[in-house]
């Protein structure tokens, strides 16, 4: 139907005594503007669905429908269809159909946007209430959700809040729509729109350079295109290289692609080897192709299998990392200045904190980033940024929630693939109170063995890894007391003294303020990706632990697990706050006592007290007091 014919039908409806809604579907913003100009007269009221959204919240649909059912005037409602599309096609079709059957006191015209396919209802009772304008269909823009933890000024033309999505989509003709929001594509799993999330600084860089970042659920499709359709595919990912006697291979841990399925041909290796050998894992834009089976290389009458091959590689790192330079630069800052620098490097504004204690508690979350095999537990109120710190800052960490299996965490016997502990610096278990295991008894044994020695023994797999574990949980205000039991709500397998003994320290998350706008970084700051790479490299530097061992002294018959826990945490704090220290003579002993040894002892002491509330054997026991030597060999 032409736009002019649609106008005539709408005018006839408005003059009639019909008490049911009409739907008019337009295909582009020009036709909507013409409709608005035609009917925005007299007492006709144009109302937007976004008026029924709180800031950055979902549409309050029931409130909207309630208002419409009671309105006796003439209402033109816009934006509703786009909000329904955001939810699902089922929501769109069912809600629009339901509207058409309603009896109303006034006149209502719901202006939908590009819904002609979903408005093909077979019921003849409502078909006359639908008008589809045959205009030129505008192109739907690419929709990008930007996490609120990222700085808003990193993007152009950003809409602040999900409530602006409908307006942005319906007024665009192709291009991109960027929404600054707490929402993500996971909030809209059935959406009719393709939503791209930006939650990480690497995402920002990739987005600016128009680099494809596939989701895990897309991998089967990508593999099909490479292997069966003969395409070459480029995308951003993390690549791990393995060199053995027979070949150079690679794996892509995030997508489960193993070394047995891949090959890097010698001519390709010679071109890209300098970039690929810089670290165990390298982020970059890979181009993958397929090498068919080779019958000429038959062994025992078996064809050499086909392989996914690396065709090209572009390192995606936007900076160079000089660890020694980083250590030297620390000399230019006081302790207080450096604390603020580190906070800025993880996107937090130091001026938003009320005390140094709050700042240092926040920074204690970074200890597993710099120290291998460090196991912590943090209980905190909601809204203090636990998930962001452990899930969005570092590409070397992993934030996991929900069900956990032995195959996912340690080793998958069926597929022969390594688990999370081999591919990450730490694994943080979010909302630990809700964590589930497929076989709790097996997981209890494996967790305790791994946390003690770093060993993974599954079938023929006998290996070691260095990822630490962080348990993250929420806690009610009345339980924020280290002198009462705080672990009552944890899964059963965590509530044993044996497991708790393997937790090195406790983070008092209630000492960290709830996230607010004043705490978002502003102005200059150390690049987060660069800083996380520095922390990753510091994990391999054993000199800090050697310094801690040299300048400290344990009391006689001190518990080994207690002393090791305190020293591990003190070592991590030394790396984080005093990376410039290269020998015992560089250590300011008072600073070490105040910022490293004393906090480490306190973090371990809370674990010990909680043990005593679960097991009589530990009740009343204190952690050993490790002291700083008066005289030590500076070596």
Strand 455-458 and strand 461-464: pairing?
antiparallel
Instruction: Please give the residue that has the higher pLDDT: either 377 or 434.
Output: 377
Question: Tens of pLDDT along 9-65?
Answer: 999 999 999 999 999 999 999 999 999 999 999 999 999 999 999 999 999 999 999
Question: Tens of pLDDT along 165-178?
Answer: 999 999 988 778 88
What is the residue whose two structure tokens read 């340690």?
A: 410
Question: Are 458 and 422 within 8 A, CB to CB?
Answer: no
Instruction: Provide the whole-model pTM.
Output: 0.60
| Range from 245-259, 343-357, 516-530 carrying the lowest mean pLDDT | 516-530
Which two three-digit tokens encode residue 603? 């973090």
Dihedral angle over CA of 107, 112, 118, 119, nearest 10: 30
Residue 401: alpha-carbon gap to chain centroid: 11
Q: Which runs of E-coded beta strand occur in 212-370?
A: 233-243, 248-251, 262-263, 281-291, 294-299, 302-304, 307-315
Question: Tens of pLDDT along 182-197?
Answer: 888 888 988 998 888 8
Is residue 116 scored above 70 in pLDDT?
Answer: yes
The CA-atom distances, in angstroms, between 622 and each of 65, 611, 626 are 62, 11, 12
The CATH 3.40.50 domain(s) of the chain lie at 1-196, 325-628
- Residue 440 makes CB contacts below 8 A (sequence gap 6+) with 491, 492, 493
| Rounded distance between C-alpha atoms, residue 531 and residue 352, angstroms | 21
Radius of gyration of the chain (CA): 30
DSSP string over 45-83: EEEEGGGGB-TTS-B-HHHHHHHHHH--SEEEEESHHHH
Question: Are 467 and 369 within 8 A, CB to CB?
Answer: no
What is the residue whose two structure tokens read 């620390």?
A: 330
| Rounded distance between C-alpha atoms, residue 429 and residue 435, angstroms | 8
Ramachandran bin of 258, using left for φ above 0, alpha for ψ from -120 to 50, beta for the remaining angles:
beta
Q: Helices 3-15 and 29-39: crossing angle, nearest 10°?
A: 40
Question: Tens of pLDDT along 464-508?
Answer: 999 999 999 988 888 888 888 898 888 888 888 889 999 999 999
pLDDT exceeding 70 applies to what percent of the chain? 93
| Rounded distance between C-alpha atoms, residue 20 and residue 205, angstroms | 51
* Closest residue by Cα to residue 606 from 510, 518, 528, 476: 510
Q: What is the rounded average pLDDT of the residues 608-621?
A: 86
| Rounded distance between C-alpha atoms, residue 234 and residue 227, angstroms | 14
Dihedral angle over CA of 216, 220, 223, 225, nearest 10: -110
| Rounded distance between C-alpha atoms, residue 594 and residue 589, angstroms | 9
Q: Which runs of E-coded beta strand occur in 483-618?
A: 505-508, 552-553
Instruction: Please give the residue that has the higher pLDDT: either 243 or 374.
Output: 374
- Which pLDDT score, from 0 to 100, does residue 185 have? 84
Is residue 348 scored above 80 in pLDDT?
Answer: yes
- Which pLDDT score, from 0 to 100, does residue 388 have? 87
Give long-range contacts, CB 8 A cutoff, 24+ apart: 576-580.
Answer: 576/342, 576/363, 576/366, 576/367, 576/370, 576/535, 577/335, 577/338, 577/339, 577/342, 577/363, 578/330, 579/326, 579/327, 579/330, 579/534, 579/538, 580/327, 580/328, 580/330, 580/331
Is residue 360 scored above 80 in pLDDT?
Answer: yes
The CA-atom distances, in angstroms, between 173 and each of 55, 137, 169, 176 are 25, 9, 8, 9
Give long-range contacts, CB 8 A cutoff, 24+ apart: 121-125.
Answer: 121/97, 123/97, 125/101
Q: What is the rounded average pLDDT of the residues 329-345?
A: 94
First to last CA, the chain: 89
| Rounded distance between C-alpha atoms, residue 191 and residue 185, angstroms | 8
Question: Are 190 and 106 within 8 A, CB to CB?
Answer: no
- Residue 28 makes CB contacts below 8 A (sequence gap 6+) with 135, 136, 137, 138, 173
The dotted CATH code for 325-628 is 3.40.50
- Residue 496 makes CB contacts below 8 A (sequence gap 6+) with 444, 614, 615
Q: Which CATH architecture describes the domain 1-196? A: 3-Layer(aba) Sandwich (3.40)
- Which pLDDT score, from 0 to 100, does residue 299 have? 46
Question: Are 84 and 190 within 8 A, CB to CB?
Answer: no
Would you place residue 314 in the very low, low, confident or very high pLDDT band (cuts 50, 70, 90)? confident
Instruction: Please give the residue that has the higher pLDDT: either 302 or 357.
Output: 357
Question: Are 224 and 215 within 8 A, CB to CB?
Answer: no
The CA-atom distances, in angstroms, between 401 and each of 147, 218, 365, 382, 437 are 19, 21, 18, 15, 11
Would you place residue 202 in the very low, low, confident or very high pLDDT band (cuts 50, 70, 90)? low
Is residue 209 scored above 80 in pLDDT?
Answer: no
């Amino acid at each position: 139907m032409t736009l002019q014919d649609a106008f005539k039908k709408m005018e006839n409806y408005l003059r009639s005594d019909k008490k049911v809604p009409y739907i008019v579907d337009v295909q582009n913003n020009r036709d909507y503007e013409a409709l608005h100009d035609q009917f925005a007269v007299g007492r006709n009221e144009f109302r937007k669905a976004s008026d029924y959204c709180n800031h950055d919240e979902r549409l309050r649909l029931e409130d909207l429908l309630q208002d419409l059912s009671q309105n006796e005037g003439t209402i033109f409602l816009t934006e509703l269809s786009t909000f329904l599309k955001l939810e699902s096609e089922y929501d769109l079709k069912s809600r629009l159909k339901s509207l058409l059957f309603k009896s109303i006191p006034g006149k209502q015209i719901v202006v939908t946007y590009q819904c002609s396919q979903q408005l093909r209802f077979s019921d003849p009772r409502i078909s006359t209430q639908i008008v589809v304008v045959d205009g030129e269909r505008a192109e739907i823009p690419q929709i990008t959700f930007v996490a609120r933890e990222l700085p808003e000024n990193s993007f152009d033309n950003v809409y602040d809040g999900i409530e602006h999505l409908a307006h942005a989509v319906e007024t665009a003709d192709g291009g991109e729509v960027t929404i600054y929001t707490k929402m993500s594509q996971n909030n809209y799993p059935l959406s009719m729109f393709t939503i791209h999330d930006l939650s990480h600084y690497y995402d920002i860089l990739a987005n600016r350079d128009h680099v494809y970042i596939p989701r895990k659920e897309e991998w089967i499709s990508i593999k099909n295109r490479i292997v069966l359709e003969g395409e070459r595919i480029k995308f951003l990912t993390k690549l791990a290289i393995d060199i053995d006697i027979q070949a150079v291979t690679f794996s892509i841990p995030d997508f489960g692609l193993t070394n047995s399925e891949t090959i890097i041909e010698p001519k390709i290796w010679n071109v890209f080897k300098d970039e690929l050998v810089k670290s165990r894992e390298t982020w970059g834009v890979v181009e993958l192709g397929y090498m068919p089976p080779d019958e000429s290389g038959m062994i025992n009458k078996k064809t050499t299998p086909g392989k996914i091959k690396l065709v090209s590689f572009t390192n995606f790192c936007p900076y160079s990392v000089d660890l020694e330079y980083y250590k030297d630069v620390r000399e230019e800052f006081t302790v207080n200045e450096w604390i603020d620098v580190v906070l800025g490097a993880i996107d937090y504004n130091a001026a938003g904190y009320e005390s140094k204690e709050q700042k240092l508690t926040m920074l204690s979350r970074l200890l597993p980033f710099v120290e291998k095999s460090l196991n912590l537990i943090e209980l905190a109120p909601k809204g203090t940024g636990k998930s962001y710190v452990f899930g969005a800052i570092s590409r070397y960490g992993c934030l996991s929630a929900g069900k956990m299996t032995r195959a996912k965490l340690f080793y998958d016997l069926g597929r022969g693939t390594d688990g999370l502990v081999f591919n990450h610096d730490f694994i943080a278990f979010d909302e630990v109170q809700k964590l589930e295991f497929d076989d709790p008894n097996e997981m209890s044994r494996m967790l305790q063995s791994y946390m003690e020695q770093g060993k993974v023994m599954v079938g023929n797999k006998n290996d070691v890894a260095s990822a630490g574990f962080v348990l993250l949980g929420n806690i009610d205000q009345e339980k924020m007391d280290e002198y009462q039991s705080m672990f009552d709500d944890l899964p059963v397998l965590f509530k044993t003294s044996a497991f708790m003994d393997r937790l090195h320290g406790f983070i008092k998350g209630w000492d960290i303020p709830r996230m607010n706008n004043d705490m978002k970084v502003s102005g200059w700051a150390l690049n987060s990706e660069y800083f996380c790479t520095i922390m990753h490299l510091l994990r391999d530097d054993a000199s800090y632990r050697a310094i801690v061992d040299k300048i400290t002294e344990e009391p006689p018959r001190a518990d080994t697990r207690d002393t090791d826990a305190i020293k591990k945490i003190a070592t991590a704090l030394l790396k984080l706050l005093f990376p410039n220290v290269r020998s015992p003579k560089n250590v300011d002993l008072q600073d070490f006592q105040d910022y490293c040894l004393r906090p480490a002892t306190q973090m371990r002491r809370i674990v010990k007290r909680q043990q005593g509330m679960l097991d009589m054997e530990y009740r009343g026991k204190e952690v050993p007091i490790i002291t700083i030597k008066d005289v030590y060999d500076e070596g």
